[in-house]
Every structure is written in C-alpha cells, then in structure tokens.
Amino acid sequence: MSTRHRLRWGFTVPAILAMVMALAWTLIGLPGWTGTAKAAPAGKLSAAVTPPVACDKKDSPDKGWIQVFYVYRNGESRFEEMRDTVKRIAWNIDQTFEASAQRFGQGDSRRLRFVQDDNCQIEVTPIGADLPDKLSLGEARGHADDWIKEHLVKDDSGYFGRHKPVYFVDAEGVDGCGLGGGAHAGGLGGGWGGVTFGCWGEQALTHELIHAFGLNHCNGADDQGNDPICRGADQTPRCDDLLAGTVLDCAKDEFAYFHPRPAPGSPLAENPEGNIANSPYLIKNQPAPPVDAQLVGTKGQCLASGGAGKAAAQKECGDDTVWRRTISTDGYFQLELKGTKQCLSSTESGDKAHVLSACDKGDERQHWMMFDAAGPDKEHYRLANRATKEEARIADESEFKMHFSVGSATTDTEGTEPTSDEPSEQGAEPQSDGTKPASSDADLAATGGDMGTSVSIAIGALALAVLGGAILMKTRRKRAASSHRAR
C-alpha cells in the first residue's frame, strides 16, 4: 500500500470507528444519545391533575354518553381558568356513582360513560352564547342546545337520543341553582342537567343528573329516604347514615331506583327499565382504582402523621404526606398514609382528635365522606367521619385541596369494555376542548435537550477522530521522511 493510501486510511479508520461507536450507543439507548423525553419525576403531585375516568372511546348504537359543557356569555369566558374545576367536579360525580354500586358489598361497579379524550380524561366543551342579561336556567339550557345543533352535530335527532349534556353555566343574571330532566332510567332516552356557578359541586350535579335519568323528587313524599333525589326528612328514620344523602338510593324505603343486583321479586327486579344501575350510560366492568393525593390545607401544609399514638398533624408537603384513597365498605372513603398500612381514624373516645391506626375496612372510625366544591375557588374538600358524624378539623384545618399524583388512578382497559384508538364518533363529530396531551410541551423541551446533548457528543467524537487522524498522519509523514533520507 502506498504512503498516500496509508495516510488516507490513517484518517478514515478512526472516523469510521467513531461513527460506528456513536451509532451503537444510540441503538442501545445509553444516556445522552436517545431522543426519548425524560419521564416526569415519580411522585409528582398537582392540583391541576384530575384522575382519568372509565375508558371507552368506541361508540355503538346501544351506548349512551354523558357530555360535559362549560356555558358562558359571549365575551365573558373563564374557560381556561375553570376547566380543571369542571373536570374535577364531574370526576367526583363518577366516584359517587361508583360508591353507590360498591356499597352493596357484591363487587359491582358503575361508572359514568363520559365523552373523553385519548387519555380517558373528561372532555369539557365550551359553549359561548348571546345570553341576555336576565334569564332562567332553562332558557340558558335552550341557548346551549341550539349551539350544539349548530356547531357540534350534523343530525341532532340522534345526538340528543343518546347523550345527556351536563351544563356548567358560568354567567351573571341566570336565575336558578340547578335543573334537570329526562326519561328511561334504565335505557336510552337522552336527558340533561345543569347548574349555575354558585351551585357548582358534586352534590348539586348528582341531583340534577338523577333527574336526567327520569327520576322525580320521590313522588313528593316527605317520609321517603334522605338521599340525593328525595330531599326528604325521612321521618321513620331509616336513612340516617351519614352517606345516605350522597349515594344513589337510600335502599331502605319504598322509592327504589338504583341497585346493581336487586332481589328477585323486588320492584327493581320486576321493572329493570326503572333501575339506573342498568343504564347504558354507565360502564359496568371498570372498578374505580385507588387514587394517590396530598391533602393540602389552606395554609399550604399537608395532612400527615403526628407520630406514633399522636394526633394527625399538618407539616411541609413531601413524599411522606401522600395518602391513598380507596372506596371502602358501604361506599365510604378510606385514607391510608401511603405505604404505611395506617389509616386516618377518629378516636375511641369520640373527641375531635384524629389519629392513624391499622387499616381495617370494617372500622367505621376509618370511614370518611368528602364534600367537594368548598372555598372561593371550589377546589376544597371537607371530611366528615362516619362514626362521629362530624366534620373533621385537623390542626386547625377543616378544608383541603387534593393534589393528585400524576398518572393517579390509571384505568386498566385490558379485558374491559371495547376501546379503540380510532376516532370516536360518540353520536357526533369528534370534538376537542383545546387541550394537549399532558406535559407535551415539557416532553418536547426534554427531547430537545437530549438531542442537543447527543449532537454535542457526536461532534466531540468526530473532532477526536479528526484530531487522532491528523496526529497519525503527521507521525507517518515523519516516518516516511526519515525512511527517504535513510535511503
């Protein structure tokens, strides 16, 4: 081989080796060479996170859908500010339906079938309308219906037959708190529910949504159960449990409308069309998973353990202040300090102190009811204990925000109702509320950072290859010159 060829190979071989090493590094995925976005830190919690609902993105003629709308007067939208609040309240209603099914202790599940995005998050569609300065809630609903017919669906006859719109009205001058109506508790038939801003909350919306399934106020009888739709004083009393005013159907009076497995010969067994638990607007085989969250008080500290045998306390938020909330016996919530098998509990003495004790699903001192939509921003929850029937006040705090864990309560859809990555028809053209997949901008930034690192390393490797080749060429030139002089 000539000297010229040897010099050329002296430069080329190191460069090729450097590029081969770079390619191999990329393929095996070593740090700095892949374009993969960095994952969010484990345990990250946020007030802006709402857990997903039961997943179902494939429509069929026998399915009904709950669709959530934010209604505002044109020019006065607070959609970006209020969207997370709307999603969280709607998710709370879903949890109430699930608790209503699980409280019977037969392993049944009932979740609302929401119009949703690809991440199983509730879609909130904004409706801007030319609302007059003064109008009734029913009139506001009429404006919203007109908007749907004009902007959302091609054929409104099919839409309103299989959708129950839920209207969160945010406009001054709308008279009324809540309103709803519909038909066919156990079948398809449309219906709707709506509330004005001052009444936003799980309890008001659950009440109106029950109307959307065709139920009235328990035939106007004051001796009926004190549940969300009856509004009765229950003079017997039969429905005096703390949760009776929250879950669907007292189940101890004559006005029966919700039971996953009614007893043979009972009114609901004889009239399945009157049983909301049979409704095609509900998903029946995706039990609600536990959710992880911090309970953040109004002063910015988190509910935490006060130490062995001591009352629960408030402290700086951290990894040791994450609670796992599950739906426990009789539909109540149980709050376990994550990873400790210790649950928030009232005390034996019945005083107002609250402690942590070994988790026991059957212990009524560990059964909690959570009221939502407290506080000026409607993000606070209040806790009430089943055993004491009193609201909890812990270290001078009685209201808490729930900062959910990112990815909390991810629904496993394997083996559940059919889902699809195909665009969802859901009786209408697919609509978007303008949201992007969670952390999409951050992911792009992280990807850009990794790619920048990769490029820098690649340039450095090539520079070393060129430098190595140059040194080798210079060395070989000297050797060649010495050899020539020697000859």
pTM assigned to the model: 0.76
- For residue 89, give Cα distances in angstroms to 267, 345, 352, 371, 373: 32, 26, 29, 11, 8
User: How much is the pLDDT for 83?
Assistant: 96
Digits of tens for pLDDT over the chain (487 positions)?
444 444 344 444 444 444 444 444 333 333 333 333 333 344 567 767 899 999 998 999 999 999 999 999 999 999 999 999 999 999 999 999 999 999 999 999 999 999 999 999 999 999 999 999 999 999 999 999 999 999 998 766 689 999 999 999 999 999 999 999 999 999 999 899 999 999 999 999 999 999 999 999 988 777 788 888 987 777 777 888 889 889 999 888 888 999 999 999 999 999 999 999 999 999 999 999 999 999 999 999 999 998 877 889 999 999 999 999 999 989 999 999 999 999 999 986 656 679 999 999 999 999 999 988 777 778 899 999 999 999 998 888 999 999 998 766 544 443 344 433 333 333 333 333 333 323 333 332 232 333 333 334 344 444 444 444 544 444 445 444 444 444 4
Residues whose CB is less than 8 angstroms from the CB of residue 243 and which lie 6 or more positions away in sequence, other chains included: 99, 103, 330, 331, 332, 369, 386
Gyration radius (Cα) of the chain, Å: 30
User: How much is the pLDDT for 106?
Assistant: 92
User: How much is the pLDDT for 407?
Assistant: 61
Assign 3-class secondary structure to 109-156.
Answer: CCEECECECCCCCECEEEEEECCCCCEEHHHHHHHHHHHHHHHHCCCH
User: How much is the pLDDT for 379?
Assistant: 86
